[in-house]
Amino acid sequence: QKSFTIGMSQCNLGEPWRVQMNADIKKSAAAHPELKLIYKDAQNDTLKQRAQIEEFVAAGVDLLIVSPKEAVPLTPPVAAAFKKGIPVIVLDRRLVGDQFTCFIGADNRRIGRAAGRWIVEKLHGTGQVVELKGLMTSTPGQDRNAGFRESIKETGIKVVFEADMKWLEPDARKEMESALARFPDIKLVYAHNDPGAHGAWLAAKAAGREKDILFVGIDGLPQEGRTYVKQGILAASFEYPTGGREAIDAALSILNGKPPAKEITLKSKAFTPENIEKGGEELP
């Protein structure tokens, strides 16, 4: 049987979500011994990722999976690879234009909107909310913020305190402590990732107020968000799927000459204490 080499360029492995993505890919690929995967990690450096793509092209891989750090700067190298006839699957973040084979990703803005809607419903349209934002120079942070704000517009939900916790749990805890010191009547914390929500919970617990506040996070990783929901720490976690399994599926169909759709939008799920045992509930 013919074997294929797939190059996988991950933009960084500092975030558990991306570690999970690699793990998902690995797990799916394990079922297909004809696939040989090479993983590279760009350490959050755009230019390193660019170099990696160039290296993969030079090494002549059969297919490229790129989870890009940035859209604009990584468009040209990916386009160059694509023009050379190497199929490219773009995972998670978009590139500019259409010089790639297939894009697989979830929509952060949509998830933010869903979270917002869920929150409006849960709080019956009114109450003080704290927003702990992810790194606001990154697109996921910007989108999770924008979607959420869309949904709570013109409701009684008021964001009384917002801070950039840069995806980091200790920072989230720190910021939440400040929020708690200032506002005695916080109803809910919306954090852009689950560790952020967990950090906020730790702060509230230390202040003895964890029972009065709901915590909502995003990502829904099994060992983080879903665990926290199961433990009753989070009121909800919205899955941001890694697309690892879908990427391998797409790769197989491309390599077998049956190109998939140009764009695959991943469905995400909401995990709440009520549905966690059933495996979550798909978002509309």
Q: What DSSP element (H or E) covers 188?
A: strand 186-191
Q: Is 48 in the site for other proteins (CB under 8 A)?
A: yes
Minimum CB distance to other proteins smaller for 96 or for 261: 96
Q: Of 83, 106, 82, which is closest to residue 94 (Cα–Cα)? A: 106
Q: Is 174 in the site for other proteins (CB under 8 A)?
A: yes
Q: Is 223 in the site for other proteins (CB under 8 A)?
A: yes
Q: Write out the DSSP string of 220-244.
A: --IIIIIHHHHTTS-SEEEE----H
Residue among 2, 31, 58, 85 that touches other proteins (CB under 8 A): 58
Residue among 122, 149, 155, 207 that touches other proteins (CB under 8 A): 207
Site for other proteins in 4-23 (CB under 8 A): 13-14, 16, 19
Q: Is 43 in the site for other proteins (CB under 8 A)?
A: yes
d(CA 248, CA 281): 24
Sequence-ordered list of residues with C-beta below 8 angstroms from that of 125, at least 6 positions apart, any chain: 155, 156, 157
Residue among 180, 188, 200, 204 that touches other proteins (CB under 8 A): 180
Sequence-ordered list of residues with C-beta below 8 angstroms from that of 48, at least 6 positions apart, any chain: 42
Q: Of 175, 183, 237, which is closest to residue 203 (Cα–Cα)? A: 175
What residues are paired with 212 via a beta bridge? Answer: none
Q: How many CA atoms, within 13 angstroms, populate the side-chain half-sphere of residue 49?
A: 26
Q: Is 32 in the site for other proteins (CB under 8 A)?
A: no
Q: Is 155 in the site for other proteins (CB under 8 A)?
A: no
Q: Are 5 and 61 in contact (CB under 8 A)?
A: yes
Minimum CB distance to other proteins smaller for 51 or for 266: 51
Residue among 11, 28, 41, 91 that touches other proteins (CB under 8 A): 41
- The residue ranges that bind other proteins (CB under 8 A) are 13-14, 16, 19, 27, 38-41, 43-44, 46-48, 50-52, 54-55, 58-59, 70-73, 75-76, 96, 135-138, 142, 161-164, 166, 169-170, 173-175, 177-182, 195, 198-199, 202-203, 206-207, 222-224, 226-227, 230-231
